[in-house]
Chains A and B, each alone.
Chain A
Amino acid sequence: MEQNPVIQIEELSKVYTVNEREAGLVAAMRSLVKRKTRDVNAVDAISFSVGEGEIVGFLGPNGAGKTTTLKMLSGLLHPTGGSATVLGFRPWERNRDYLRRMTLVMGQRNQLVWDIPVIDTFELNRAVYRIPEEQYRPVVEELTELLELEPLLRKPTRNLSLGERMKCEIAAALLHRPSVLFLDEPTIGLDVTMQRRIRRFITDYNQRTGATVILTSHYMADVEALCKRVIVIHHGKLLYDGELTGLADRFAPFKTVEVKLQNGLDGRPLAQYGELMAHSEGRITLRIPKVDTAAVTGRLLADLDVADLTVQDPPIEDVIEHVFSQSPSPLDAPDPQKIQSE
């Protein structure tokens, strides 16, 4: 899809073997002799590639395999099958040149040293990543300005609020100017203002450095603000890879029709057109199956005294919710050919 893929994944899989035991003493004793295990396909043969400078949203419900994939790409996990290269490196070989060019930010993990002031962790990272002094100073200044860190730098990490800590985490993870960023829930637990600031920062960083970003988030606002392209996985399988706007086309089985009437309803029943979602003075919102949209709009225009009519895709949040509420079987991984065309 991309001219210059920075991340290339082919049939990447990860199977975890987990121990299983029933409750109770007898089961506990039995497990001493014979352990029951079960294989869990956390990531199931997914393939995609990401080009230089792209910001890709990686979506899926809890347990879909997002974090497992990011951990494989950052070298923390060995895959069970398939291959992956990032910046030409195989991540799990943990080549130091690779580690110096990427970063993984996990919302709930901290790379800031708990007991020391934030600026001291920055200094430590400067040494570990061998950042030359002439590069370090401007980067710290820039990050301090963009993320408004000035009042926080001299405080020990343990005295920071969650949002403050997250900002400092992100800054600490970017001091070495990585060209690939894996951001796992970078805005989790933050208030709306802070979420917005971090979003703006990611866009800014991407534009200025041309870094490639894969981002997971439960907040659709993050994804809508940052990512043109999204990859959706569910139960470890890839469901969708394409533009965010195409997601509704592909998965939403209905459209939202908003009608403004000239003279009110005159007591006409609306159930015949579709599911009534909202109804206020002279304005109705209906949910109509996608296949019937053309016919129903025709009938609405013919039957009612319509002043204005708009047909829209449902909000992206509803689409995602719809996708995740499906079992994976009817939504098999799409044909790569099809992805190419999307």
Chain B
Amino acid sequence: MFAFYTIYKGYFRTALIVQFQYRVAMLIWLLGGIIEPLMYLVVWRTVSEQQGGSVGGFDTNDFVVYFIAVMLVSHATFTWIMWEYIYRIRMGLFSVMLLKPIHPIHSDIADNIGYKFLTLTVMAPVTLLLAWFFDASWRPAPWTLAAFVPVLILAFLMRFYWEWSLAMVAFWTMRIDAMNQAYIVVGLFFSGRLAPLSLFPEIVQRAADILPFRWMLSFPVELLLGRITPRELLIGIGAQLFWLLAGYLFMQLIYRAGIKRYAAFGA
């Protein structure tokens, strides 16, 4: 455990130094993560105002709080690993990772968290600014805040394992951009990024319950908004654990097969 701590500390340190080198790129990425939910916020807020102040049980303030929460949770859980993998295999960087006596996923997790940690310095004031600008009112129950922490960690981990596994399709084909795009579009609908899931038809909501996307984004957001009962919380955590385990097993499987393929075709 101590050794792991040392390794992660080393990776964090490196990630932070590298991120500092690319401050502008970091800000551009960050801007994308802020503008998208902000856009939906403005659209839905306008729709709500035109509908007399409420749409499908969401009033104007709910939309504001919802999309600010989407921005925060999205930021906390997003990964760029699918693009990273294509690059590292094409450039032969994966061989170097394989020679290290540690699973390559750890450096990626540390890298991701390092970025999040650094960008928090921008995200925190942006959140406060948006809340002030849109006059958001939010009174969470203490238990939802307490539950939010593990729920967010689970959301991050399950998303990380799944996207890390899908990224490894690059072992079989370099043309994974189309797959990435499909994944993003499906996720846009079923994760609640585009609009709260309760606004979608019943069938989409049922599908969202079965798919992993809701548990990566919408569930933590709904929890922050106080729209989850304690019973639903337990069910949600169960779903997250299930998808995390499935993602972990899938990752192990595809990693082993991927390495074998990589090793067969020349590293």
Residues on A lying within 8 angstroms of B by beta carbon are 16, 68, 71, 74-78, 92, 94, 96-97, 99-100, 103-104, 106, 109-111, 113, 115-116, 120-121, 123-124, 126-130, 156
Q: With contacts A113-B18, A127-B11 known, is A96 near B265, CB below 8 A? A: no
Bound form: Cα–Cα A216–B105 in Å: 32
A120 to chain B: which residues have CB within 8 Å?
13-14, 17
Contact B99 A128 (CB under 8 A): no
Contact A109 B263 (CB under 8 A): no
Given contacts A76-B267, A77-B264, 5 further A-B contacts (CB under 8 A): A68-B266, A113-B14, A116-B21, A126-B10, A130-B6
Q: Any chain A CB within 8 A of the CB of B147?
A: no
Q: With contacts A75-B98, A111-B96 known, is A124 near B11, CB below 8 A? A: yes
Q: Which of B6, B9, B22, B100 has the most CB of A within 10 A?
A: B100
Q: Which of B9, B22, B92, B102 has the most CB of A within 10 A?
A: B102
Sampled A-B contacts (21; CB under 8 Å): A71-B95, A76-B267, A77-B264, A77-B266, A96-B102, A97-B101, A99-B99, A106-B95, A111-B96, A111-B99, A113-B14, A115-B17, A115-B21, A116-B14, A116-B21, A123-B10, A123-B13, A123-B14, A124-B14, A127-B7, A128-B100
Contact B92 A109 (CB under 8 A): yes
Q: Could you mark each residue 50-84 of chain B with 1 if its beta carbon is under 8 Å from any beta carbon of chain A, else 0?
A: 00000000000000000000000000000000000
Contact A75 B17 (CB under 8 A): no
B98 to chain A: which residues have CB within 8 Å?
75-76, 94
Q: Could you mark each residue 252-267 of chain B with 1 if its beta carbon is under 8 Å from any beta carbon of chain A, else 0?
A: 0000000010011111
Size band of the interface chain B makes with A: 20 to 34
Q: With contacts A76-B95, A99-B101, A115-B21 known, is A128 near B266, CB below 8 A? A: no
Contact A71 B267 (CB under 8 A): yes
Min distance, Cβ B136 to any Cβ of chain A, angstroms: 38
Interface residues of A, dominant DSSP: mixed
Min distance, Cβ B98 to any Cβ of chain A, angstroms: 6
Closest chain B residue, CB of each to CB of A113:
B14
Q: Could you mark each residue 1-40 of chain B with 1 if its beta carbon is under 8 Å from any beta carbon of chain A, else 0?
A: 0010011011101100110011000000000000000000
Q: With contacts A77-B267, A115-B18, A120-B13 known, is A128 near B95, CB below 8 A? A: no
Min distance, Cβ A12 to any Cβ of chain B, angstroms: 14
Contact A109 B13 (CB under 8 A): no
A16 to chain B: which residues have CB within 8 Å?
265-266
A94 to chain B: which residues have CB within 8 Å?
98
A156 to chain B: which residues have CB within 8 Å?
21
Closest chain B residue, CB of each to CB of A42:
B266
Bound form: Cα–Cα A100–B3 in Å: 14
A71 to chain B: which residues have CB within 8 Å?
95, 266-267
Contact A110 B96 (CB under 8 A): yes
Q: With contacts A16-B265, A113-B18, A116-B17 known, is A127 near B6, CB below 8 A? A: yes
Q: Could you mark each residue 79-109 of chain B with 1 if its beta carbon is under 8 Å from any beta carbon of chain A, else 0?
A: 0000000000000100110111110000000
Q: With contacts A16-B265, A99-B99 known, is A116 near B18, CB below 8 A? A: yes
B260 to chain A: which residues have CB within 8 Å?
78
A124 to chain B: which residues have CB within 8 Å?
10-11, 13-14
Min distance, Cβ B264 to any Cβ of chain A, angstroms: 6
Closest chain A residue, CB of each to CB of B95:
A76
Contact B10 A127 (CB under 8 A): yes
Bound form: Cα–Cα A200–B170 in Å: 42
Bound form: Cα–Cα A130–B260 in Å: 27
Bound form: Cα–Cα A2–B202 in Å: 74
Bound form: Cα–Cα A110–B22 in Å: 20
* Contact of A99 (CB < 8 Å), options: B9, B10, B100, B267: B100
A109 to chain B: which residues have CB within 8 Å?
92, 95-96
Task: Tell me the B188-241 residues at the A interface (CB within 8 Å).
Answer: none
Contact B99 A74 (CB under 8 A): yes
Closest chain B residue, CB of each to CB of A94:
B98
A116 to chain B: which residues have CB within 8 Å?
14, 17-18, 21
Closest chain B residue, CB of each to CB of A130:
B3
B21 to chain A: which residues have CB within 8 Å?
115-116, 156
Q: With contacts A94-B98, A109-B96 known, is A78 near B263, CB below 8 A? A: yes
Min distance, Cβ A330 to any Cβ of chain B, angstroms: 29
Contact B10 A77 (CB under 8 A): no
Bound form: Cα–Cα A106–B98 in Å: 14
Min distance, Cβ B10 to any Cβ of chain A, angstroms: 3
Task: Tell me the B138-160 residues at the A interface (CB within 8 Å).
Answer: none
A121 to chain B: which residues have CB within 8 Å?
14
